[in-house]
Amino acid sequence: MKKRFHIFCTVCVMAVMQIVSSCGASSSAPQTITAADVAEEFSSGVVLIQNKFYYELHVNGINPMYFTGLDNGEIQGFTFDINEVTPTLAWGTGFFINENGYIATNAHVADPQISAKDARGFVVNALSETADEMTNEINKITDKINIAQLALLGSSGSERRQMQAIYEELLEQRENAQNFVNIYNRLSSGDCDIKLHSDLSVAYSNTHVNKLSDFNDCVLLRSDGEHDVAIMQLKSKVTPEGRYIFEVYDDIEGDENDCPVGTQLFLVGYNHGPELAITEDGLKPQVFSGAITQNTDSKQMLYSIPTLHGSSGSPVVDEYGDLVAVNFAGLGGTQNFNYGIKVKHLSKLLNQQ
Q: Judge contact between 94 and 49, C-beta under 8 A.
A: yes
Average pLDDT along the chain: 87
Domain ranges of the chain: 32-46+248-350
- Whether the pLDDT of residue 26 is over 70: the answer is no
Task: Determine if the pTM surpasses 0.85.
Answer: no
* CA quadruple 203, 198, 213, 103: dihedral, nearest 10: 20
Closest CA to 122 of 71, 87, 156, 81: 71
Which range has highest mean pLDDT (1-5, 211-215, 238-242)?
A: 238-242
Range 33-40 contact pairs with CB under 8 angstroms and sequence separation of 24 or more: 33/5, 33/6, 33/7, 33/266, 33/317, 33/319, 33/320, 33/321, 35/266, 35/287, 35/289, 37/7, 37/321, 38/266, 38/268, 38/287, 38/317, 38/321, 39/268, 39/287
The arithmetic mean of pLDDT across residues 272-282, rounded, is: 89
Q: What is the pLDDT of residues 52-88, one digit of tens each?
A: 999 999 887 778 899 999 988 789 999 989 999 999 9
Burial of 60 (0-12, 13-18, 19+ CB in 10 A): exposed
DSSP track, 305-341: ----TT-TT-EEEETTS-EEEEEEEEPTT-SS-EEEE
- Say whether pLDDT at 31 is over 80: yes
> Which band of pLDDT confidence, cut at 50, 70 and 90, is reported for residue 28?
low
**Nearest by Cα to 320 from 263, 245, 240, 260:** 263
Q: What is the DSSP letter of 170?
A: H
CA neighbours within 13 Å on the CB side: how many for 76? 12
Q: For 116-163, what is each residue's pLDDT tens digit?
A: 888 888 888 888 888 888 899 999 999 999 998 888 888 888 888 998
Please state, as a whole number, how many other Cβ atoms lie within 10 Å of the Cβ of residue 280.
6
State pLDDT tens for residues 162-202. 989 999 999 999 998 998 888 888 777 767 899 999 999 99
The helix (H) or strand (E) run that includes residue 158 is helix 157-189
- pLDDT of amino acid 284: 94
- Of 172-176, 184-188, 218-222, 338-342, least confident by mean pLDDT is 184-188
Distances (CA, A) of 234 to 137, 196, 221: 53, 19, 10
Taking CA atoms, 252 is separated from 74, 248, 320, 325, in Å, by 41, 8, 13, 10
Average pLDDT over residues 21-28: 43
Nearest to 309 by CA among 287, 334, 329, 291: 329
Under the banding of pLDDT at 50, 70 and 90, the label for residue 227 is very high
Give me the helices (H) in 211-351, please. 274-277, 343-350
Q: What is the pLDDT of residue 290?
A: 95
Q: Considering only CA atoms, which of 90, 73, 88, 176 is closest in space to residue 125?
A: 73
CATH topology of domain 32-46+248-350: Thrombin, subunit H (2.40.10)
Query: What value does the mean pLDDT take over residues 312-325?
Result: 96
What are the angstrom distances between the C-alpha of 315 and each of 162, 289, 323, 324? Answer: 73, 12, 7, 8
Instruction: Please report the sign of the dihedral spanned by the C-alpha atoms of residue 302, residue 303, residue 308, residue 312.
Output: negative
